[in-house]
Chains A and B, each alone.
Chain A
Amino acid sequence: MNKVVLGLVLGAILGAVDGMSAWFTPAVRTQIVGIVIGSTFKGIIAGILIGVFARKVQSLALGIVFGLGVGLLLAFIVAQMQHGFYFQIMLPGGMVGLIVGYATQRYGHGPQPQRP
């Protein structure tokens, strides 16, 4: 699978799972639909960014660091909007970014070499 598409799919799935886990937090259960949509969207954005990075840079270590950074940054923005829950939002967000960063470097296919 293409690195960008892999990042997008993985980001969307993990983002959705991330959002659905909010159901177990009674304080925000009423907003679950919005949280799932937002979290999935966040995952997609992170996945595309990490996928594009993986296409440009072939380095497992840099891919993981970039993924972690993007995941943490997007999660931080969400936590700022929520005015709290930094740990509960940023830790899973960072891990999602890290997993997508690893997966896009390890499994995704790079661009086909151009014919002369």
Chain B
Amino acid sequence: MKQLSDRIVAKLQAEMQVPDLAGTRYSVVRHLARGGMGSVWLADDTVLNRRVALKVLDLVTPADDLGALLLREARILAGLEHPGIVPVHDAGTLVDGRAFYCMKYVEGQTLVQHIAGKNLSEKLRLLERIAEPLDFAHARGFIHRDLKPENIMIGAFGEVLVMDWGLAKVAAAGRKPTEDGISMVVTDTQDSSRLTGQGSVLGTPGYMSPEQARGGNEVDHRTDIFSLGALLAFMLTGISSGEAPTSTRAVPRPLRAICEKAMATDPNDRYQSAQEMAADTVRYLSSEPVLAYPEGWFERVGRIYARHRTAIVLVGAYLLMRVFFILFARR
């Protein structure tokens, strides 16, 4: 029997992966990206005549767990209505048995592409906007657990979106679950633990907190704070924390301290919320004292000068002029 070449096998495999969208309102346009358990496809919504993104499981598995996991991700996304989280439009099962969900197609750049050529201030503003949806999710009891540059998208209108909630975990309770009148969306902690493999290691090395890497049960929202710290370190140095260490001299000390605090081994030593961390970066941007960094007297003077430089220069020039006039008048 004649053997098929690798190229043909690969082509056949690729063809097999194309989802059969018969019986749905969608038609495949092209492949967009691959995830841990499925692929994302660009598709046409033939009813509303718009482009959408479909996340489809790679294979039909005998065990229904992956399908349930995908549906669970869709439900989490549907429950997290926030401008920084991609909205889900639809979910279901294809004729070939594969689970899928349909979400808004985000035309834009990943964080890696977006930060190229951006200055420090723009990067820190970006972090502030990443922290917003994260804090929103934490408040509702969801932990992302896979925050990394590839999972941050910047849309065509500059909107910042936290993507891929496939590894998200539902915590026992939100930090402030119903203060704005929105009830918890999912509370099936036992089910979610089973589906997301609690006890096994899930996440991305370099962005994963030590407690998450241990695969223990003690992971809470502060694991995302660790990842946010690693994300900030990546934005500042261009290198993820898992890669070979590099010189961080170019990174200002207060920002280094913010990264270190966010990535502390003990979760109690970290910022206790994403908003708290973002607020510290905003403090740095406004030349205010950063909570994570106890500055010395000399640094404090430098910071105050940097903050009020123009006013100090103007008053200095005025006083100099006065001294000049006094000397001139004495002659």
Name the distance in Å between B34's Cβ and chain A's nearest Cβ: 49
Query: CA of A107 to CA of B307 in the docked complex: distance in angstroms?
Result: 11
CB-CB contacts below 8 Å: A19-50 with B: 21, 24-26
> Within 8 Å of chain B (Cβ to Cβ): is A98?
yes
Residues on B with C-beta less than 8 A from A106 are 310-311
Q: By the criterion CB–CB under 8 Å, are A25 and B318 in contact?
A: no
Tell me whether chain A's interface is mostly helix, strand or loop, or mixed: helix
Q: By the criterion CB–CB under 8 Å, are A25 and B310 in contact?
A: no
Name the distance in Å between A103's Cβ and chain B's nearest Cβ: 6
Name the distance in Å between B55's Cβ and chain A's nearest Cβ: 43
> Within 8 Å of chain B (Cβ to Cβ): is A74?
no
Q: By the criterion CB–CB under 8 Å, are B311 and A95 in contact?
A: no
> Within 8 Å of chain B (Cβ to Cβ): is A91?
yes
Name the distance in Å between A108's Cβ and chain B's nearest Cβ: 12
Question: Can you identify 18 A-B contacts, CB atoms within 8 angstroms?
Answer: A14-B318, A17-B322, A21-B325, A21-B326, A24-B325, A24-B326, A24-B329, A24-B330, A25-B329, A92-B322, A96-B318, A98-B314, A99-B311, A99-B314, A102-B310, A102-B311, A103-B311, A106-B311
Residues on B with C-beta less than 8 A from A96 are 318
Residues on A with C-beta less than 8 A from B250 are none
Q: By the criterion CB–CB under 8 Å, are A95 and B317 in contact?
A: yes
Query: CA of A92 to CA of B325 in the docked complex: distance in angstroms?
Result: 10
Name the distance in Å between B33's Cβ and chain A's nearest Cβ: 44
Give the number of residues in A that approach B within 8 Å (Cβ atoms): 17
CB-CB contacts below 8 Å: B315-330 with A: 315, 317-318, 321-322, 325-326, 329-330
- Taking A24-B330, A25-B329, A91-B321 as known contacts, 11 extra A-B pairs with beta carbons closer than 8 A to each other, sorted by chain A number, are A21-B322, A24-B325, A24-B326, A24-B329, A88-B325, A92-B322, A92-B325, A98-B314, A99-B311, A99-B314, A102-B310
Query: CA of A21 to CA of B315 in the docked complex: distance in angstroms?
Result: 15
Interface string of A3-22 (1 = CB under 8 A from B): 00000000000100100010
Residues on B with C-beta less than 8 A from A14 are 318
Q: By the criterion CB–CB under 8 Å, are A95 and B326 in contact?
A: no
Q: Report how many A-B pairs have Cβ atoms within 8 Å.
A: 34
In the complex, the 10 A-B pairs of residues with the closest C-beta atoms, listed nearest first: A24-B326, A25-B329, A99-B314, A95-B318, A24-B329, A21-B322, A102-B314, A88-B325, A99-B318, A103-B311
Name the distance in Å between B143's Cβ and chain A's nearest Cβ: 37
Query: CA of A92 to CA of B314 in the docked complex: distance in angstroms?
Result: 12
Query: CA of A26 to CA of B321 in the docked complex: distance in angstroms?
Result: 18
Name the distance in Å between B314's Cβ and chain A's nearest Cβ: 5
Query: CA of A95 to CA of B322 in the docked complex: distance in angstroms?
Result: 11
Q: By the criterion CB–CB under 8 Å, are B311 and A26 in contact?
A: no
CB-nearest residue of chain A relative to B314?
Answer: A99
Query: CA of A21 to CA of B323 in the docked complex: distance in angstroms?
Result: 9
Q: Which of A17, A24, A91 has the most CB of B within 10 A?
A: A24
CB-nearest residue of chain A relative to B319?
Answer: A17
Residues on A with C-beta less than 8 A from B326 are 21, 24
Q: By the criterion CB–CB under 8 Å, are A26 and B318 in contact?
A: no
Query: CA of A78 to CA of B100 in the docked complex: distance in angstroms?
Result: 80
